Every structure is written in C-alpha cells, then in structure tokens.
A = this chain, B = another copy of it.
Amino acid sequence: MEKIKVGVAGYGTIGSRLADGVALQDDMELVGIVGHSPSLAIRALAENDMIGVNGVEYKLYLVDMDLKPRFDALGIPVEGSFEELCEKVDVMLDASPGGTGAANKAIYERLGVKAIFQGGEKNSVADVFFHGYANYDLGLGKQFLKLTSCNTTGLIRAVDCLDRKFGIEKVAITIIRRVADPGDYHRGLTNALQMEKAPSHQAVDLMTIMPHIAATGILVHTPVTHGHIITVLATAKDGRKITREEAIEAFRAHPRIRTVTIDEGFKGNASFFKYARDLGNRRADMYEIGLWEDSVVESGNDIMFAINIPQESVTIPETIDGVRAVMQMQTTSAEATAATNKNLKIGRFKK
C-alpha cells in the first residue's frame, strides 16, 4: 500500500512533535517540514544532519524564500518553498503560530490539499472541530479539521472514557494550567495564580464536541512549565451512581490514559516529565494523559478525579487520528486510534 504523504507547517513546540509523530507511522511518509527562521529547533535538527526520529530525514521548506541566504550561511539545507511542499503532500498538518493557519488555508484551498489545524485557530477555519475518540466519524473524508487544544484533548479522553461506559450528562472542571513551556521566556508568570473569566473555553469546547454533555469550569494559570492538572466532577445520566472502583477500572483500560499513584512516585505534574525522561522518550515527551488513582473520590452519585495533561505532546495522537479520518485510512475510531497507538507505542505499558 502506498504511504500517505504528510507535510508539517511550523516547526515549533507542536510542529516538531507532529513531524516526529508522522515519522513513526508505518503507513505515512513525512515529506517535509516548513520553517520560518533558523530557530533553536531547526538548528538542533541541522546539528543532527537533518535526521529526526526513526532515521527519517526532515526536509526543510521555507515560508519565505527570501530568508534562504540566512540558512545557507549557517549551512542548513533548504529543499524548497512552503507551496512546493504543499504540492507534494496529501495532508498538511498546520502548526504555524495562531492566526497564521487561517491565512494558510487559502493556499491549501487553491492547491486542493487537505489540512489539519491546531487549537490556536478559530473553529471556523475548519469543517469539523475534531477529536480522535469523541467524533472520529465526523472527520471522515473532510478537507479541513481543527484539533481540540491540549487541555480539551486530554479532558475529552477522560470524559469520553466514562461516557462510553456510564453515560455522562454533566461535568464541572477546574483547570490548573501551566503557563509556559520549558524554554519559554516570553509568557511566564512569577509568584502569582492568574484567573480567567468563567466558564473556561475548554468547557465550552467540550460541549461543541460532545453536545449531549453540559459542561462548565474555572481556569487558573500557575507558574509552572510541566503539564496542566484538571480536576473533573462528572455526573452520570438518570441519577446513576459511578463508584470509585468502576471509574478506575474504566480509566485503566484506556490506552491513552496512564493510571498512576502518588505512592509509586508520581507526586505531581513534574513526575510525568521526569518519568518520560527516564523512559528515554524523545524530547522527554509523553503521549498519554496521567490519572491519579488516589485522586478519585465519590461526591454523592458523582465521581471526581484529577488528570495530568502533557501540553506539548498530548494532541499528537489525535492529530494523527485526524490524518486517518480525512484520508479515510480507517473507517472507525476504534481502528484508527488502534493504528495510531501501535505506531506511537501508546498503551504498551498496560498490563
């Protein structure tokens, strides 16, 4: 079977990880990546002779060919322009800075290439606001998808997991948001917790993807860089009680949820990052969300729990699912997510 040809626009925090994710798929080919200036990420790639994960060469295309002399001077090979890459691929994964994606859409439309945008764009950029588990069917064969943002992607994994098993009608969330990524200097926060007006956009987004659920929530920014933590209070339909044991059993069975305990050593969000480093994961990334079993408590009939969202890498699997949907590589969410999971070695640790 011919591999699906994929390009990645933007080689920042998300784009570089999307490139890795594509390079790991046995049924996709990473045709190239699009960069703008010689950023640290691109300099690191060049130091590795443009070889990324899995021995794959990441060929570099430029947004602005006028800047090619800067790359030449640094000895960084340039393969061609953004549009030249678009002409070679079936799907572009657009992880360019927020707002740019909407502008790129005109190019994709003109060249007739499919595209999947990240959470920073407006919903209107795409035909479908997409999540690999919760609404895979809606993405089948579409030209344009927009992925949920990192928090919403992880949150929906957990809520969808309960919803399939028990039927959920209401959730109330508290998002304890990391404020910057490791290596960021432009958007930190120092010794302050910052509020956003409620309801948080993640609750609103969840309702867009899962319209049968009423969701609301409060978001608080915190001065850390490794992983958001979300507490979720979920109410089942028809007054059904969800017990602690039932919830934990459901979470344990989900391939993209890593259930852990404080006693094992997972004391907080930084433990997942440390654990990924100890695993030898590339870029110290983790694709699974974490779920603390010792956070799961009953509140009357409702169930409450806390999850950890690895903000840099959590959307990669669901974006790869999106490629499968728009290219109709698999016709069901079950088949598509299974294929993605196998290639990303997700769920390998499940007993």
Q: Which residues of A contact B (CB under 8 A)?
A: 16, 38-41, 43-45, 47-48, 52-53, 170, 172, 174, 176, 178-180, 182-185, 188-199, 214, 216-218, 220-227, 229, 231, 233, 235, 262, 264-271, 273-275, 277-280, 282-284, 292, 294-300, 302, 304-306, 348-349
Report B-chain residues with C-beta under 8 Å of the C-beta of A300. 170, 214, 235
The one of B185, B191, B223, B304 that contacts A194, using a Cβ cutoff of 8 Å: B185
Chain B positions within 8 Å of A43 at CB level: 264-265, 275
Q: Which residue of B lies closest to A74 (CB)?
A: B264
A306/B218 in contact, CB under 8 A: yes
Q: How far apart are A232's CB and chain B's nearest CB, in angstroms? A: 10
Q: A218-B297, A284-B284 are in contact. Are A184 and B195 (CB under 8 A)?
A: no
Contact of A192 among B226, B233, B264, B282 (CB under 8 A): B226
* A14 CB to nearest B CB, Å: 13
Bound-state Cα–Cα, A216 to B45, Å: 36
DSSP majority for the A interface? mixed
Contacts of A302 in B (CB 8 A): 172
Contacts of A227 in B (CB 8 A): 193
B264:A40 contact, CB within 8 angstroms: yes
Residues of B within 8 A of A305 (CB): 218
C-alpha gap A300/B264 in the complex (Å):
37
Q: Which residues of B contact A348 (CB under 8 A)?
A: 47
Give the complex CA separation of A179 and B266 in angstroms.
18
Within the complex, which residue of B183, B218, B233, B283 is in contact with A172, where a contact is CB–CB below 8 Å? B233
Could you write out 6 A-B pairs with CB less than 8 Å apart?
Answer: A172-B233, A174-B174, A183-B192, A190-B224, A191-B225, A217-B304
With A39-B265, A214-B299, A224-B222 as given contacts, are A183 and B273 in contact (CB-CB < 8 Å)? yes
Query: Which of B226, B279, B296 contacts A182 (CB under 8 A)?
Result: B226
Shortest beta-carbon distance from A188 to chain B in Å = 4
Chain B CB within 10 Å, residue with most, of A40, A47, A266 = A40
Which of B185, B278, B284, B294 is A45 in contact with, Cβ under 8 Å?
A: B278
Contacts A41-B278, A47-B349, A194-B267 aside, 18 further interface pairs with beta carbons under 8 A come to A40-B271, A43-B265, A44-B279, A170-B299, A170-B300, A176-B176, A176-B220, A183-B192, A183-B277, A185-B189, A188-B192, A188-B223, A193-B227, A195-B292, A197-B295, A198-B297, A216-B297, A222-B222
**Known A40-B265, A223-B188, A270-B191; contact A282-B283, beta-carbon cutoff 8 A:** no
CB distance from A261 to the nearest CB of B (A): 9
Given contacts A270-B191, A300-B214, contact A198 B295 (CB under 8 A): yes
Q: Which residues of B have CB within 8 Å of A294?
A: 195, 197-198
